[in-house]
Amino acid sequence: MRVVVDVASGALMLLGAGFVLLAGAGLHRFDDVFSRIHAATKAVTFGVLLVAAGGALQLTTAADVVRLVLAAGLQLVSSPVGSHILARAAYHSGTELSPATRIDQLADPDDTIDGPLDAG
């Protein structure tokens, strides 16, 4: 039984650490603030959740498990809000989009003459 718990929590923690590493890689892989926000916040939140789950299996004190779960819950709630505010601020302050951007639904309609979105 102990072995099963150890293998499960080790796998969870390794997977979570891998996601945090992917978030760091995503900060360099993408060429745009907005796609970097997309890469970093989601991967890091998932990594925190996985590591908290794996760590909760290892800890033996109930109070420690509660604090770990609280931290994971706080991250789950705060990360979308923070990244949304950051992305909105970056857009409204005129950060340039990546050249690969196809759809910009926040753009002024007069500017998008050849936009790919044709709702008509």
* Of the candidate residues 42, 58, 97, 104, the single one contacting other proteins (CB under 8 A): 58
User: Which of 108, 103, 5, 106 lies closest to 56, judged by CA?
Assistant: 5
* Of the candidate residues 4, 8, 42, 95, the single one contacting other proteins (CB under 8 A): 95
Classify the C-alpha dihedral 15-32-90-101 as positive or negative: negative
* Of the candidate residues 8, 71, 103, 117, the single one contacting other proteins (CB under 8 A): 71
State how far the Cα of 99 lies from the Cα of 118, in Å rounded to an integer.
20
Smallest distance, Å, CB 118 to other proteins?
31
* Of the candidate residues 74, 98, 101, 112, the single one contacting other proteins (CB under 8 A): 74
User: Quick one: which segment of 48-56, 97-105, 106-114 binds other proteins (CB under 8 A)?
Assistant: 48-56
Site membership for other proteins, residue 46 (CB under 8 A): no
* Of the candidate residues 27, 101, 103, 115, the single one contacting other proteins (CB under 8 A): 27
Which position has the token pair 């900060």? Answer: 27
Following CA atoms 55, 64, 66, 63 in sequence, which dihedral angle do they give, to the nearest 10 degrees? 150
Smallest distance, Å, CB 115 to other proteins?
24
Contact criterion met (CB below 8 Å) for 61 and 100: no
Site membership for other proteins, residue 24 (CB under 8 A): yes
